[in-house]
Amino acid sequence: MPTLTYRDALNQALREEMQRDANVFLMGEEVGVYQGAYKVSRGLLEEFGPMRVVDTPIAELGFAGIGVGAAMVGLRPVIEFMTWNFAVLALDQIVNSAAKLLYESGGQLPIPIVFRGPNGAALQLGAQHSQAWESWLSHIPGLKVVAPATPADAKGLLKSAIRDNNPVIVLEGEMLYNTKGEVPEGEYVVPIGRADVKRAGRDVTLICHSKTVTVALKAAEQLAEQEGVSAEVVDLRSLRPLDEAAITASVAKTNRAVVVEEGWPHCGIGAQVVDVIQREAFDHLDAPVLRVTQADVPMPYNRQLERLAKPSPDKVVAAARRVLYLD
């Protein structure tokens, strides 16, 4: 199986889906001539031309809405945001148009559109450029939200997102674009709504998604080496719909859980996961569920402060030790 970067896996998914369906087009800032702010769209303008790889002005609200309008008449737009921080300007179109048109039209207007781009903090970009938006987006009925952690999942989930008849949010990671992994060639789709056990274990479940999968996997390694603890890493992959069965099955086995995310703690994804666990696996729990999140502050610029603010393997290990009563 070929090894690809996360960036190239996304590129492959876009290219294959654009070859497969003439109604799929890509629109966003710098996606064409510049080849993508993060080079996800490299080569696509040359292959598909300017009608299908559309450079836009810096006008997130406008081009997101143009995408939704195009979806209303049967196209399958892929709208790229340079980052999800800028997509906040387009929230009206995502929340009030894309997510609601099917319902408020009594089922007449499905909106098959993908909104994608990097989400969460990179390195020292400061408060406005370092935010994780998944809890905001996952709150909205009518949207689906996915957050792939590996190149294979990036390809498979983006392909599923493009084929889905609903608005799908694809949260990528700036720090993930260069990561490498094996990616199946050609037709490879990952169904939306299925979590994936990235490492099997017996003693504690680490629930994570996107960049925090790497954090959790490192923590699991440390736990195995330093404590002899066998941690199971469950990658949610989809945040809406959430794979409640996978979460429950793992916790039923390990009886303990730590939820890791890049977002802030208040009303975060972890809060939703904890709700599932207390509801569906209450009798299996041997300890309260703990969460590891970004610190409840705007992201600082200073390198040391930023490190303190982010979830880390050490923080996950510490939380796991507490739910295992090792402290």
Partner 1 sequence: MTTATAHAQKDQSQAELERRMLRQMLLIRHFEEKAAEAYALGKIGGFCHLYIGQEAVAVGSLAALLDDDYVISSYREHGQALVRGISAGAVMAELFGKATGCSKGKGGSMHLFDAAKRFMGGHGIVGGHIPLGAGIGFGIKYKGGDQVCLCYFGEAAVNIGAFHETLNMASVYHLPVIFCCENNRYGMGTAFERVAAVTDVAEHACSYDMAAELVNGMDALAVYAATQRAVERARKGGHPTLLEVRTYRFMGHSMSDPLHGVYRTKDEVEEQKKRDPISQLALKLKEEGALDQAGLDALDAEVRAEVEEAVKFADESPDPDPGELTTHVVAD
**Whose CA is closest to 165, among 71, 65, 66?**
71
Q: Is 70 in the site for partner 1 (CB under 8 A)?
A: yes
Shortest distance in whole angstroms from residue 165 CB to partner 1: 4
Shortest distance in whole angstroms from residue 55 CB to partner 1: 10
Interface characters, 272-311, with partner 1 (x: CB under 8 A): ----------------------------------------
Q: Which stretch binds partner 1 (CB under 8 A): 12-20, 65-73, 215-223, 283-291?
A: 65-73
Among 43, 88, 96, 194, binds partner 1 (CB under 8 A): 96
Q: Can you spell out the DSSP letters for 11-57?
A: HHHHHHHHHH-TTEEEEETTSSTT--TTSTTTTHHHHH-TTTEEE--
Shortest distance in whole angstroms from residue 14 CB to partner 1: 17
Contact assessment for residue 251 and residue 202, using Cβ atoms and an 8 Å cutoff: no
C-alpha to C-alpha distance for 87 and 94, rounded to whole angstroms:
9
Helices (H) and strands (E) in the chain, counts: 13, 14
Q: Which stretch binds partner 1 (CB under 8 A): 37-45, 141-149, 174-182, 249-257?
A: 141-149
55: left (phi over 0), alpha (psi -120 to 50) or beta: beta
Q: Which residues contact 87 (CB under 8 A, 6 or more apart)?
A: 60, 64, 81, 94, 115, 117, 133
Among 12, 41, 85, 97, binds partner 1 (CB under 8 A): 97
Shortest distance in whole angstroms from residue 48 CB to partner 1: 12
**Whose CA is closest to 80, among 172, 190, 176?**
172
Residue 257 DSSP SS3: strand
Among 56, 179, 210, 294, binds partner 1 (CB under 8 A): 56
Measured from the CB atom, is 142 or 300 closer to partner 1?
A: 142
C-alpha to C-alpha distance for 208 and 213, rounded to whole angstroms:
5
Phi then psi for residue 203, to 5 deg, are -95, -30
Among 19, 165, 226, 278, binds partner 1 (CB under 8 A): 165
C-alpha to C-alpha distance for 109 and 100, rounded to whole angstroms:
9
233: left (phi over 0), alpha (psi -120 to 50) or beta: beta
Q: Is 228 in the site for partner 1 (CB under 8 A)?
A: no
Q: Interface residues for partner 1 in 20-39 (CB under 8 A)?
A: 25
Residue 203 DSSP SS3: coil
Q: How far apart are the first and last CA of the chain?
A: 43
Residue 261 annotated in active site: no
Q: Is 226 in the site for partner 1 (CB under 8 A)?
A: no
Q: Which stretch binds partner 1 (CB under 8 A): 5-13, 103-111, 214-222, 262-270?
A: 103-111
Shortest distance in whole angstroms from residue 22 CB to partner 1: 9
Q: Which residues contact 88 (CB under 8 A, 6 or more apart)?
A: 133
Q: Is 260 in the site for partner 1 (CB under 8 A)?
A: no
Q: Is 105 in the site for partner 1 (CB under 8 A)?
A: yes
Residue 60 annotated in active site: yes
Q: Is 91 in the site for partner 1 (CB under 8 A)?
A: no
Measured from the CB atom, is 67 or 201 closer to partner 1?
A: 67
Q: Is 67 in the site for partner 1 (CB under 8 A)?
A: yes
List, by residue number, the catalytic residues: 60, 129
In the complex, the residues that contact partner 1 under the rule CB under 8 A are: 25, 51, 54, 56-57, 59, 61-75, 92-93, 96-97, 101-110, 112, 141-142, 144, 165-166
